[in-house]
């Protein structure tokens, strides 16, 4: 491999800095959250706010979201999930920060 120039060094540092500022959270949402379009709501908000990760229903009638993005978008996304779509009734949301998470390149609904 050849010698690195100043721009290569800058780009490497910039990527490392970006990854450091990237936040990843696991949300576990309970209440009336299944059968009300919650997964599609989450997918739509994630697309708008450039959030990556996934959303899925759990067998115990909750919704699990793994969301990854930069502030303030990630904070806005979480606030929107606390409200949920029109017909949802969010009773509780458990938020856990995930350190050293894998990097997600898209947001998807898992079935």
- Residues designated as active site: 39, 57
Cβ atoms of 21 and 70 closer than 8 Å: yes
DSSP output for 53-99: EEEEE-TTS-EEEEEEE-TTHHHHHHHHHHH-STT-EEEEEEEEE-T
Q: How far is CA 85 from the centre of its chain?
A: 17
Residue entry with tokens 């759990």: 58
Could you tell me which residues are beta bridge partners of residue 86?
Answer: none
């Amino acid at each position: 491999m050849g010698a690195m120039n100043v721009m290569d060094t800058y780009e490497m540092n910039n990527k490392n800095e970006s990854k450091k500022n990237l936040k990843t959270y696991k949300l576990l949402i309970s209440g009336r959250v299944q059968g009300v379009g919650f997964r599609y709501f989450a997918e739509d908000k994630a697309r708008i706010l450039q959030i990556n990760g996934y959303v899925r229903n759990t067998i115990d009638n909750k919704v699990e979201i793994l969301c990854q993005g930069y502030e303030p978008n990630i904070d806005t996304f979480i606030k929107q999930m606390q409200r949920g779509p029109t017909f949802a009734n969010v009773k509780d949301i458990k938020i856990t920060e995930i350190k050293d998470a894998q990097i997600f390149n898209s947001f998807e609904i898992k079935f």
